[in-house]
Amino acid sequence: MSFSGGIDWVSVMNAIYSWTLNGSGLPSHKVVWAQQDAPRPEEPAIVMRLSIFDDVGSPWADHEVNLHSFSDITITGVDTGADTLTAVTHGRLTSDGPVKIETTGTAPGGLTTTNEYWIIKVDDNTFKLAASFLDSRNNIAIDITSAGTGTHKLVDTPNTLRAGEEIKHFSRAMLRVWLTLECYTSIGVGMDMATSILNRIRSRAALPSQKEILEDANIGLYGFDRVFALLGVRDAFLFEPRASVVVQLTLPSEEAETGTIIERTEITNEIPDPDHVFTVDAAIVP
């Protein structure tokens, strides 16, 4: 089974089409995919096929921090009795953080523009703020004593994460694809025209403009097979000159899922090693 997930096949096929078209020098309507329903173009023309998909080596794992950035959220209301802030469809979840408060005036009482906070989601339109990640998990909100002045906003920080999605795991692989180009030409002109068109694609492959088309779609050119001349069956009575070449391409494939580094979010009296006693807000596994 080939590892072909995580590939934008529309972009790949568009890039292959542009690369073949530019290399051949043919008009745009004379380079087609074999699966197209349109009438067959008049010769000379090229038909493209993606035929074989094969893994190059084995998939490998990779990881990175999954930062949770978001656009500034305007706070439209402050409820000192409930210690809540209102922002319609704020999109935050409990324990998102750290986040900060920005204001054009003075911050609501109990909050500052320098401290970092963690979200306690009340509903889709309201939330509270906690002084630490652990407080947010235990629903311990900061006491808001006044509405402040000016316009307040909730903003992210360079370290904002979402609980349970702090890291992203990747499974990456390299896929090799066989692209078959078949060129057919007019009856009676011989096979030299068909072979020369395909050889032109091959000879132009090292040009910067041709390489850029593939590289912009993350496609690597692995190599060319020989250009073969052959007679193709046009219909029940006629043969036509054709040529064929197989081009090997490589595509990076990537699948991803989020994961967590949180092991425990409660203070406990567990002492894993009597010689190393410590107290933490939230124990994590690096």
User: What CATH number did the domain enclosing 154 receive?
Assistant: 2.40.30
Task: Give CA–CA dist 2/54, Å, rounded.
Answer: 5
Rounded-to-integer distance, Cα 264 and Cα 234, Å: 71
Tell me, what CATH number does 235's domain have? 3.30.70.1700
In-domain check, residue 124 = yes
Would you say residue 276 lies in a domain? no
Residues 174, 35 share a domain: yes
Quick one: how far is CA 117 from the chain centroid?
30
53 lies in the same domain as 74? no
Q: Locate 258 and state its tokens.
A: 């989020």
Whether 134 and 179 map to the same domain: the answer is no
Q: What is the C-alpha separation between 43 and 198, in angstroms, rounded?
A: 14
Cα-flanking dihedrals φ and ψ of residue 73, to 5°? -115, 120
* CA-CA-CA-CA dihedral for 213, 218, 224, 227, to nearest 10: -50
CA–CA separation, 253 and 174 (whole Å): 6
277 inside domain: no
Question: Amino acid letter at 260?
Answer: T
Domain presence at residue 243: yes
Average model confidence (pLDDT) for the chain?
86
Structural domain contains residue 115:
yes
What gap in Å lies between CA 8 and CA 188, rounded to an integer?
Answer: 41
Last residue of a domain, one of 143, 163, 183: 163
Pair 88, 209: CB distance under 8 Å: no
Report the run of H or E that residue 215 belongs to, with start and end.
helix 208-215
Residues 159 and 73 in one domain: yes
Q: Where are the beta strands (DSSP E) in the chain?
A: 31-33, 45-65, 73-75, 77-79, 84-86, 97-103, 118-121, 126-130, 152-161, 167-184, 220-224, 228-233, 239-259, 262-264, 283-284
Same domain, 74 and 200: no
Domain boundary among 136, 163, 190: 163
177 lies in the same domain as 123: no
Helix 9-24 / helix 208-215 crossing angle, nearest 10 deg: 170
Look at residue 33 and tell me if it is in a domain.
Answer: yes
* Cβ proximity of 48 and 180 under 8 Å: yes
**Number of domains comprising the chain:** 2
The pLDDT value given to residue 255: 81
Q: Are 156 and 96 in contact (CB under 8 A)?
A: no
Same domain, 129 and 193: no
Q: Residues in the chain with pLDDT < 70?
A: 1-5, 187-191, 231-239, 263-286
pLDDT, one tens digit per residue, over 20-69 is 999 999 999 999 999 887 788 888 999 999 987 877 777 778 889 999 99
Cβ-contact 128, 84 below 8 angstroms: yes
Instruction: Indicate the SS3 state at residue 132.
Output: coil
Same domain for 73 and 104, yes or no, is yes
53 and 180 in a single domain? The answer is yes
Q: Are residues 73 and 158 in the same domain?
A: yes
In this structure, which amino acid lies at residue 178? W
- Do the beta carbons of residue 46 and residue 182 sit within 8 Å? yes
Q: What is the DSSP letter of 188?
A: T
The answer to whether residues 17 and 98 belong to one domain is: no
Q: Domain containing 249: what range?
A: 9-64+170-258
Rounded to two decimals, what is the model's pTM? 0.62
Q: In the prediction, which pLDDT does 193 show?
A: 86
Task: Please give the Cα distance from 137 to 130 (Å, whole number).
Answer: 9
Q: What pLDDT, on a 0 to 100 scale, did the predictor assign at position 211?
A: 94
Residues 58, 131 share a domain: no
Buried b (16+ CB within 10 A) or exposed e, 32-41: beeeeeeeeb
